[in-house]
């Protein structure tokens, strides 16, 4: 095996791995729950006494290390390609060709790192389990819940619409289209209460506190 063959192998391996990395990196999916992707529902506003609302926590741009799979494959491809061309079509000494190939590989890796960190990673953020917490999510009944029975709600998490089987927390029937809040989530079923009912209870609680302060 000649030095030219070695350069060629580096180029082929680096190029193929770069292509595979690009393809699989663009086909990956994040599936927090197994639900059907449907309509849009607003989140419940935070209010005193209201259950916790699932939302974005710790959103931020993920940090990309300089030495990673993408930069390594880019270095191999550029290093191998430049080294092969210099070895086959120039009269430079092997040492000079090697140094130029290494320098070219570093430039290629730097370009890939810059493109990924400045453009692709700009909109990326680490996943947080709290972003997919069901308790406190505001949804809407899309399939009415019969008394003591099971229906279905539609809701939104992280900008994506989902549906989920649901039951009334009190066992009472809830009509289609009613806004509800998830109070607990067990075995793939969301137990819900009408948001209007909870809002009324919070208003009454605030009124009683204000009356107590006024009396004092």
Per-residue pLDDT tens for 5-28?
899 999 999 889 888 877 765 444
What is the domain partition of the chain in residue ranges? 1-29+64-127, 129-215
Q: Which stretch of 62-71, 95-104, 119-128, 180-189 has the lowest confidence by average pLDDT?
A: 119-128
Nearest to 18 by CA among 85, 103, 84, 76: 76
Q: What is the pTM of this model?
A: 0.42
Compute the distance between CA of residue 190 and CA of residue 188 in angstroms, rounded to an integer: 7
Overall fold of domain 129-215: OB fold (Dihydrolipoamide Acetyltransferase, E2P) (2.40.50)
In this structure, is the dihedral angle defined by the CA atoms of residues 148, 152, 153 and 159, taken in order, positive or negative?
positive
Reported as a single tens digit per residue, the pLDDT across 135-175 is: 888 899 999 999 989 999 999 887 788 889 999 988 899 99
pLDDT of residue 180: 93
- If one counts every other C-beta atom within 10 angstroms of the C-beta of residue 82, the result is 21
Note the pLDDT of residue 126: 57
Q: What is the pLDDT of residues 24-69, one digit of tens each?
A: 654 444 434 433 333 334 444 443 333 443 433 344 445 667 788 8
> Within 13 Å of residue 97, how many CA atoms lie on the same side as its CB?
18
The C-alpha angle with vertex 77 and arms to 72 and 79, in degrees rounded to 5, equals 90
- The mean pLDDT value of the chain amounts to 76
Count of all residues that appear for the chain in the document: 216
């Amino acid at each position: 095996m000649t030095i030219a063959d070695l350069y060629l192998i580096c180029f082929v391996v680096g190029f193929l791995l770069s292509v595979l990395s690009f393809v699989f990196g663009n086909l990956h999916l994040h599936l927090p729950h197994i639900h059907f992707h449907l309509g849009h529902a607003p989140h419940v506003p935070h209010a005193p006494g209201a259950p916790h609302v699932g939302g974005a926590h710790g959103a931020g741009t993920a940090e990309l290390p300089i030495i990673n799979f993408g930069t390594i494959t880019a270095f191999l491809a550029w290093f191998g390609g430049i080294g092969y061309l210099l070895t086959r079509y120039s009269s430079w000494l092997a040492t000079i060709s090697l140094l130029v190939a290494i320098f070219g590989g570093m430039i290629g890796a730097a370009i890939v790192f810059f493109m990924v960190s400045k453009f692709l990673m700009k909109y990326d953020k680490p996943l947080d389990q709290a972003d997919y917490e069901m308790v406190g999510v505001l949804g809407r009944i899309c399939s009415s819940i019969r008394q003591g029975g099971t229906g279905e709600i539609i809701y939104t998490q992280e900008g994506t619409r989902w549906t989920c089987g649901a039951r009334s927390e009190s066992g009472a029937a809830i009509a289609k289209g009613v806004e509800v809040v998830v109070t607990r989530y067990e075995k793939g079923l969301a137990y819900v209460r009408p948001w209007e009912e909870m809002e009324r209870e919070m208003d009454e609680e605030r009124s009683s506190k204000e009356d107590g302060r006024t009396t004092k």
